[in-house]
Amino acid sequence: MTVTVVTPVFNGADHLWATLLSVQAQTFGDFEHVVVDDGSTDGSADIVREAAAADSRIRLVQQPNAGLSAARNTGVAHADPANEFILFLDDDDLLRPTALEVLVGALRSAPDATAVHGDLAAVDGAGEAVPLVRIEAAERRAVVDPHRWWTPRHATRPLAPHEPSPIEAFGYVLFVYTVGQVLLRRERLAQIGEFDPILRVAQDYDLWLRISARGPMAYVPEVVLDYRQTDRSLSSDQTTTRREDLYARFKCITDRSLPQATRRLVRHLHRHHEWHRCAERLTYIGPALSEIISHAAPTLCMKVPMSDSPSAMSRLRNSGTRSGDHSESGDRSRTLTMPPGSGPVCSGCQ
């Protein structure tokens, strides 16, 4: 056989059967399908046993629950060592019928590449086509000049269909949604390292960075996977995601097995990513601050504590003119009241 498909499953009985059928329907039939039951309690293992009874290419491996990364690595350990390629498929995603044929052909045409990826389409829980939530993943883009200290937010270029996906692209936006889009050379995966079991949500990103840091990932402009976009797939702890993304980038930056130029490049990409992330947050915060100020300004400007001394009045005039171009109005009392229509006022008081 040529390809090992590894599917980890944890309580995925709802869509597992459809996933198994999508693999069995491949036009490229030289594969084995290793399904790792990671401690399921919903009958997922029974579904795999039934499928394996009808198709000897399907094998079930069971283990106590250890997490997604560990389950994928278990699948690699149980793969036929003679197989040249490996593809990881989540338990609710669907391979297109020609997926293996297209990916195997593309990777064989790129002997220097560790992996090849294709495009995907999104489907809902019922298998109906839906738009991708993260639309930026529909286009591969690379940072034009990552070595500059400051790069404008969208100083990127789209990659042509014939171009592979370099580290400059993976450092900009994660356009490879899921592992089912990617076919890897098994021998190279063993050299680079499998999935990091420490990670819970950024396992894929960590692996793509480590692969692309050693050379571009080949690309085929064809949809090879239907990605199941459900509440389960979209739910994630953003704090954990943020922490693990940083961890993955720092792993590359500090990996002394990589050339120094590559580690420096990843460091530059990390800096641009953080600058742009801060800029995006400011675009959200700015309008909110403006709204708060517009509501608070009338209250702040209507009453100003002051002294009876002429010097205090003088300071008030100067301060008011500088800060909001307020006219001097009202009598000299403990509190200066600014009557409506008494002169130019700040935009927050209009």
Confidence check: pLDDT of 212 > 70? yes
pLDDT value, residue 285? 63
Could you tell me which residue, 300 or 247, shows the higher pLDDT?
A: 247
pTM for this entry: 0.78
Confidence check: pLDDT of 290 > 60? yes
For the residues 42-53, what does the mean pLDDT come to? 97
CB 18 within 8 Å of CB 128: no
**Which residues sit opposite 185 in a β-bridge?**
85
Separate counts of helices (H) and strands (E) for the chain: 11, 13
Could you tell me which residue, 82 or 314, shows the higher pLDDT?
A: 82
Confidence check: pLDDT of 326 > 60? no
Confidence of residue 32 (pLDDT cuts 50, 70, 90): very high
CB 165 within 8 Å of CB 212: yes
Could you tell me which residue, 155 or 78, shows the higher pLDDT?
A: 78
Structural domains of the chain, with CATH: 3-275 (3.90.550.10), 306-349 (no CATH)
Q: Which of 223, 245, 227, 224 is nearest to 236 (CA)?
A: 245
CB atoms within 10 A of CB 140: 25
Confidence of residue 49 (pLDDT cuts 50, 70, 90): very high
pLDDT value, residue 152? 63
Confidence check: pLDDT of 223 > 90? yes
Question: Structure tokens of 319?
Answer: 């301060």
Confidence check: pLDDT of 322 > 90? no
Mean pLDDT for the chain overall = 82
pLDDT value, residue 204? 94
pLDDT value, residue 155? 79
Q: Which of 17, 71, 26 is nearest to 49 (CA)?
A: 17
